[in-house]
């Protein structure tokens, strides 16, 4: 086991900002996303093939998924991809991300069923979706555990409760109920050019961070990430009747009390301040994450071993967060981190506060 700093995981990345230097925050209800970008040289556009079109998936046993890479390029499997097939077969989900060499055939034995009592194996399919991000924590927790083909069921059951979809052990029930809404959800967010990663916040707290291997890769998986993965957060927010804050109106009212300038100038000032406060809030949350250090455990089930020179997979754990990194010679191709639901970031704040105080204290001396 070794350690990984959060700052190291996202090195080279920076939030996309507007002309005034504010982080561009896109919002819907109580959910926000911040897009990350990087310098062109750190986007490995030519190296990896499109995971959604290069892979064909089959299986011959419950709880496993095999991928055949048909491309003459390596493939990074996105985090927790699912096979939701029309074939008469049991749908399956991956519990993590993965790495495949060009033209490789790889079997992951730590996948899980996501369709209750359905029987049958699928063959040569590209019917890929992604597990909702709200399942990510529970599913990551099963990696390395000997829990068998049913390892993903508890996470589906929880999703069913959270989204009032009565999904039971059937992920397809959730998708069938909300597919139309999820499709529309894509429209609410715009993918900036040169996207390399995404930070997702709910109620002002960071709940997920994803970093992709390249701009091209980010473009390829964007719709799936927004619709299948993050869409569940919006569904849950809607069920809880969460809404956007009227930040601007409040800011304007406050400014009006202390400023006598003309209305248009005041509107401009209020708008800038609104954006600035959104930026500051997000910046503060990201800043808190920078203090995190993860325990990293090498994951070799389906992924390259410690002696291989290929990119390696590490599972990441720390108090409050869990995730995975696919890394090669200290270059992180894919990072996927999610906040544990039970975790209250305020606890982290207290710890950080004390830690910072401790750093400032002088050493004991007489």
Which stretches of the chain bind other proteins, using CB under 8 A? Answer: 16, 18-19, 24-28, 180, 183-184, 186-193, 244-249, 252, 263-264, 267-268, 271, 274-275, 278
Q: Give the residue among 210, 239, 220 at the shortest CA–CA distance from 10.
A: 210
Q: Do the Cβ atoms of 134 and 154 come closer than 8 Å?
A: no
Q: How far is the CB of 349 from other proteins (least distance, A)?
A: 25
Q: Which residue's CB is nearer to other proteins, number 19 or number 309?
A: 19
Q: How far is the CB of 258 from other proteins (least distance, A)?
A: 16
Q: Which residue's CB is nearer to other proteins, number 28 or number 114?
A: 28
Q: Which residue's CB is nearer to other proteins, number 153 or number 230?
A: 230
Give the residues across from 336 on adjacent strands. 210, 324
Distance CA 4, CA 209 (A): 15
Grouping H, G, I as helix, E, B as strand and the rest as coil, residue 75 is strand
- Write b or e for each residue in 67-92: b if 16 or more Cβ atoms lie within 10 A of its Cβ, otherwise e: bebebeebbbbbbbbbbbbeeebbbb
Q: Which residue's CB is nearer to other proteins, number 204 or number 320?
A: 204
Q: Which residue's CB is nearer to other proteins, number 18 or number 344?
A: 18
Q: Do the Cβ atoms of 24 and 276 come closer than 8 Å?
A: no
Q: How far is the CB of 270 from other proteins (least distance, A)?
A: 8
Q: How far is the CB of 196 from other proteins (least distance, A)?
A: 14
Q: How far is the CB of 182 from other proteins (least distance, A)?
A: 11
Measured distance between the N- and C-terminal CA atoms of the chain, rounded to whole angstroms: 40
Q: How far is the CB of 23 from other proteins (least distance, A)?
A: 11
**How far is Cα of residue 142 from the mean position of the Cα atoms in its chain?**
17
Spatial strand order of the sheet with 105-108 comes to 55-58, 65-69, 105-108
Q: Which residue's CB is nearer to other proteins, number 155 or number 182?
A: 182
70: tokens are: 């048909």
Q: Do the Cβ atoms of 310 and 328 come closer than 8 Å?
A: yes
Q: Which residue's CB is nearer to other proteins, number 105 or number 184?
A: 184
Distance CA 304, CA 189 (A): 35
Q: How far is the CB of 264 from other proteins (least distance, A)?
A: 5
């Amino acid at each position: 086991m070794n350690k990984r700093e959060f700052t190291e995981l996202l090195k080279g990345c920076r939030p996309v900002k507007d002309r005034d230097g504010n982080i561009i925050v896109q919002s819907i209800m109580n959910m926000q996303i911040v897009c990350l970008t990087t310098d062109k040289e750190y986007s490995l556009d030519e190296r990896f093939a499109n995971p959604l079109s290069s892979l064909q998936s089959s299986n011959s046993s419950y709880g496993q998924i095999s991928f055949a890479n048909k491309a003459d390029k390596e493939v990074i499997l996105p985090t927790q991809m699912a096979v939701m097939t029309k074939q008469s077969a049991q749908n399956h989900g991956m519990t993590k991300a993965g790495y495949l060499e060009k033209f490789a055939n790889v079997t992951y034995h730590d996948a899980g069923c996501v369709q209750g009592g359905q029987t049958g194996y699928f063959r040569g399919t590209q019917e890929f979706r992604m597990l909702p991000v709200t399942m990510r924590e529970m599913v990551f927790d099963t990696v390395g555990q000997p829990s068998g083909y049913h390892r993903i069921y508890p996470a589906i059951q929880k999703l069913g409760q959270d989204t009032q979809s009565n999904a039971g052990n059937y992920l397809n029930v959730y998708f069938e109920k909300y597919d139309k809404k999820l499709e529309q959800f894509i429209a609410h967010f715009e993918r900036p050019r040169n996207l390399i990663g995404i930070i997702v916040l709910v109620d002002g707290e960071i709940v997920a961070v994803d970093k992709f291997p390249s701009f091209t890769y980010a473009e390829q998986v964007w719709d799936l990430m927004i619709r299948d993965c993050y869409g569940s957060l919006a569904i849950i927010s809607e069920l809880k009747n969460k809404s956007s804050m009227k930040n601007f109106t409040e800011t304007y009212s406050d400014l009006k009390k202390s400023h006598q300038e003309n209305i248009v100038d005041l509107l401009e000032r209020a708008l800038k301040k609104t954006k600035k406060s959104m930026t500051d809030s997000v910046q503060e949350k990201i800043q808190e994450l920078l203090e995190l250090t993860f325990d990293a455990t090498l994951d070799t089930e389906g992924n390259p071993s410690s002696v291989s020179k290929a990119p390696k997979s590490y599972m990441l754990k720390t108090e409050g967060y869990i995730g995975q990194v696919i890394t090669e010679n200290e270059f992180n191709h894919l990072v996927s981190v999610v906040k544990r639901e039970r975790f209250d970031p305020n606890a982290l704040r207290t710890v950080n506060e004390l830690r910072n105080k401790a750093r400032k204290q002088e050493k004991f001396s007489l």
